[in-house]
Amino acid sequence: MGYDLIIQNGRVLEGSGTPSFPADIGITNGRIIAIGKLSGPSARAIDAAGMIVSPGFIDIHTHSDYSFHLDPLADSKLRQGVTLEVVGNCGFSFCGPLHGEAGTVLHDRLKGYGATLEPTWTTFPEWLDRLGEIPSTVNIATQIGHGNVRAAVLGFADRAPTNEELKQMKGIVGEALDAGALGFSSGLFYAPGSYAKTDELIELSREASTRGKFYSSHIRDEGNYSVGLFHAFQEAIEIGRQSGAKVQISHNKCGGPSVWGKASRLLEMIEAAREDGIDVAGDQYPYTAGSTALSAVLFPRWAQVGGKETLLANLRSRSFVGRLASEIRDNFQRRGGPERIMIAMFPPDRQLEGKNLVEIADIQGTNPVETGINLFREYDPSVVVDFMEDGDVDLIASHPWVAVGSDGTSLRSSGPLSAGRPHPRSYGCFPRFLAHYQRTKKLISFEDAVRKMTYLPATRIGLTHRGRIAPDFWADLVVFDPDKIRDTATYEDPHQYADGIHHVIVNGVTAVLNGLPTGATAGKVIDGHDR
């Protein structure tokens, strides 16, 4: 039998958690057609001697919606073994829908990279069509974001939708899911998603449930900002209970001193819900620092009613700022202090990138509260916040129902996506999990670590022919050295590619060969018809 590509002499780790075994893999027409001791002609061959051959890593939680339009090569993800990115998380499907106030989110994100993008689409299905025209190196799966839907219909109003508005929102969600979105996501920590009540989310999640698709949530609180971590966690479970949707709780964490040391309670809640028949699981980026917009750290949600322009106008009022000041100080402490908040991207003054709010305040002769407000007035920078503890991260990382997801964006070390000091997870998340949490700390078995990056996320988002090495599955594969795979990206120097990834195959096409991208663009948009 002949093959388009044969991978020889490697140890196959098929993805479901079973031990590795020596085997060759034969690939034809983008799919795996044979596994074993293979012979016969092949157009190409890769020698994987001394290497592990595993399914390509599936990044279940990313924010690369817009980055594919600026640079579709996705080097920072591809070179750490990622073959599929899931976008539209945290309620932000940045590129669709764009009507109403929803388009401002995309504009603000692009501004940070000094890039412009003139959308030729308005609706989510139109965006999917455009995305399918982009030659990408990796596969892309999408979700429809609640925040975008709410902004399109209600703007940034802090109120419940009318019956007609809710009907309109359900129509947008249903249209996106029918067009190919695999899930519906919410970001209840962020305006305008934060203004939604639970019953609104249950109704919208039913649109996903009736179509056999999932609901993911950046929950309402990950510390003690508002309702508290555990109440927010339970809300996500309750949405799954009442809607019938599969629930994916995004980037599980204990964020801030008030909840440090309490990860076991979160995991017990997952297990209890599953025992009750609710299909709930989570994902996690394996770092103690997160990243978000400075506005999310600074401002309570009442201050963001009406959107960014309204907030900027209100900040001209001394009384408004005075009212904010104490709450901003409280929000700093909820994150462990302003010294833990580092500016990652600030186009007006790149010299401030990499400095924390205390350092910038000292430079400017102000205090951290004033500094934060002044920065926001110029531009809402992204920040990296070190607000978790190792023990909680370790415990969550070891749980069998928590997948690995970067919460990052596809970047490159050159070009428009090389700006700033982004969180290193965009370059190193998956190798870090294997090197630090499995190989060094030995929190879980090697087989289970790979399962949490392949088969587990595939099943969570409803993929039936990806995430494993098996006959007739798509040939998304990564060949790596288990002893040398590691992340090199740091908070100080984040634009650094991972080590130990030798070859990456996407839909049967070699996208990375001997550690370097080939330029091949075999990635697909994965919709409900191609799983």
Considering the domain architecture, whether residues 354 and 438 belong to the same structural domain is answered as no
3-state secondary structure of 428: helix
Considering the domain architecture, whether residues 507 and 431 belong to the same structural domain is answered as yes
Considering the domain architecture, whether residues 421 and 486 belong to the same structural domain is answered as yes
Query: Could you tell me the two tokens for 145?
Result: 């974001």
Per-residue exposure over 179-212, b if at least 16 CB sit within 10 Å of its own CB, e if not: bbbbbbbbbbbbbbbbbbeeebbbbbbbbbbebe
Residue 219 falls inside a structural domain = no
Q: Cβ distance 121 to 65 under 8 Å?
A: no
3-state secondary structure of 166: helix
Assign residue 515 the CATH number of its domain.
2.30.40.10
Last residue of a domain, one of 386, 415, 443: 386
Residue 313 falls inside a structural domain = yes
Residue range(s) defining the domain that contains residue 428: 1-89+405-520
Residue 132 falls inside a structural domain = no
Last residue of a domain, one of 354, 386, 418: 386
Considering the domain architecture, whether residues 19 and 83 belong to the same structural domain is answered as yes
Cis bond upstream, residue 192 (ω within 30): yes
Considering the domain architecture, whether residues 513 and 476 belong to the same structural domain is answered as yes
**What pLDDT sits at residue 531?**
56
**What is the value of pTM for the model shown?**
0.97
Considering the domain architecture, whether residues 453 and 510 belong to the same structural domain is answered as yes
Residue 505 falls inside a structural domain = yes
Cα separation, 362 vs 360, whole angstroms: 5
Residue 19 falls inside a structural domain = yes
Structurally, the chain folds into a number of domains equal to: 2
Residue 263 falls inside a structural domain = no
Considering the domain architecture, whether residues 382 and 409 belong to the same structural domain is answered as no
Residue 53 falls inside a structural domain = yes
Considering the domain architecture, whether residues 304 and 411 belong to the same structural domain is answered as no
Considering the domain architecture, whether residues 378 and 415 belong to the same structural domain is answered as no
Considering the domain architecture, whether residues 472 and 409 belong to the same structural domain is answered as yes
**What pLDDT sits at residue 529?**
63
Between CA 482 and CA 250, with CA 495 as vertex, the angle to 5 degrees is 70
pLDDT 10s per residue in the chain (531 long)? 789 999 999 999 999 999 999 999 999 999 999 999 998 777 899 999 999 999 999 999 999 998 998 899 989 999 999 999 999 999 999 889 998 777 777 777 676 666 677 788 999 999 999 999 999 999 999 999 999 999 999 999 999 999 999 999 999 999 999 999 999 999 999 999 999 999 999 999 999 999 999 999 999 999 999 999 999 999 999 999 999 999 999 999 999 999 999 999 999 999 999 999 999 999 999 999 999 999 999 999 899 999 889 999 999 999 999 999 999 999 999 999 999 999 999 999 999 999 999 999 999 999 999 999 999 999 999 999 999 999 999 999 999 999 999 999 999 999 989 999 999 999 999 999 999 999 999 999 999 999 999 999 999 999 999 999 999 999 999 999 999 999 999 999 999 999 999 999 999 999 999 999 999 999 999 986 665
Last residue of a domain, one of 322, 357, 386: 386
**What pLDDT sits at residue 492?**
96
Considering the domain architecture, whether residues 354 and 444 belong to the same structural domain is answered as no
Considering the domain architecture, whether residues 428 and 516 belong to the same structural domain is answered as yes
Residue 108's Cα: distance from chain center in Å? Answer: 18
**What pLDDT sits at residue 416?**
87
Residue carrying structure tokens 């920078």:
381
Residue 221 falls inside a structural domain = no
3-state secondary structure of 157: coil
